[in-house]
Amino acid sequence: MAALSSMTGYGRSHGSLPGVNFVVELKSVNGRGLDMRVRLAPGFDALEPEIRRRIGKSVNRGSLTVSLSVDREGEGGRVVVNHQALEAVLEGFRWLEARVEAQRPTLDGIMGLKGVLEQHETPMSADEEEALGSAILTAVDEALAALVAARAEEGARIAAILSERVDEIAALTKAAELHPGRSRDAILARLRLQIVELTEASPTLSEERLAQEAMLLATKADIREELDRLGAHIAAARALLAGGGPAGRKLDFLSQEFNREANTLCSKSNDVALTAIGLDLKAVIDQLREQIQNIE
């Protein structure tokens, strides 16, 4: 059974072959879906589809950055003159000489201009290219394993916090259910008071209209349905936390449902203490939802 994972993590791996060193880095932060930005050293674009495939098998959500840097030891290869760039430079000098009196440029000064000299790496054989590509993909797997482990470690910490918040919601729900303000006698007392206030405000109310208003007040005062729904959401949240895996979206939906029931409980309550419980519920639910945003 997979544990919950955070969407934040980091993984790094490096490797080398004769004359070549390379480093692979993977970073991930929160994201609505799976978004990968792959930045590979020049000449290694062919590896991108396979890198994406491997990451996609292990990561479901998050904004990921993949980077590959390659360093060829000793600047292997040969230096050549870019004749087109050199001719452009010389033509520029000839144009300036006809207009400006200045010291003629030295050879090393000309050769030092950007683009005149180019470093051409010695081409690798097909076998060497295949070996390098395979070594880089192995490094990607190692960096990915480190990233997944970091996300799982952070996910375990967040899961513990989420479990505490759900337990607090359960305790507050129980407190609301057992509160004396929900007793039949308390509700009847508040109902009688509200009927008296209605009668004083509108002495001409008919018995039928008064009965309708009484029924409406009694229905509004009943938070049984909200308590039942909160209980069902608590059970669902605990099941998701125990089940692990990519549960962020489902938990986020549940947090919205929690908030909806807490809002309704507050609006229905005619008791100050019950309203306070509802407000405490909303505060804990906000904390729950804030942590859920980090879960894959």
CA-closest candidate to residue 180, choices 171, 190, 169, 170: 190
Whole-structure pTM value:
0.72
pLDDT at 198 over 80: no
Angstrom distances, CA of residue 22 to CA of 26, 71, 137, 142: 14, 6, 11, 13
Per-residue pLDDT band for 220 (boundaries 50, 70, 90) equals low
Query: Which pLDDT belongs to residue 238?
Result: 96
Looking at per-residue pLDDT, the higher value among 199 and 160 belongs to: 160
- As a whole number of angstroms, the distance between CA 100 and CA 103 comes to 10
Q: Which residue has the tokens 């209980």?
A: 231
Query: Which pLDDT belongs to residue 91?
Result: 82
Tell me: the pLDDT tens digits for 161-197? 999 999 999 999 999 988 776 555 666 566 666 666 6
- Give the count of beta carbons closer than 10 Å to the beta carbon of residue 258: 26
Long-range contacts (CB closer than 8 Å, 24 or more residues apart) made by 175-181 = 175/277, 176/223, 176/227, 176/265, 176/274, 176/277, 176/278, 176/281, 177/227, 179/271, 179/273, 179/274, 179/277, 181/269, 181/270, 181/271, 181/273, 181/274
Q: Which residue has the tokens 């203490």?
A: 273
Query: Which pLDDT belongs to residue 108?
Result: 76
Looking at per-residue pLDDT, the higher value among 268 and 281 belongs to: 281
Looking at per-residue pLDDT, the higher value among 170 and 42 belongs to: 170
As beta bridge partners, residue 29 has 63
Tell me: the pLDDT tens digits for 124-136? 788 888 999 999 9
Tell me: the pLDDT tens digits for 45-101? 999 999 999 999 999 999 999 999 999 865 455 566 778 887 887 888 787 777 777
Looking at per-residue pLDDT, the higher value among 138 and 118 belongs to: 138
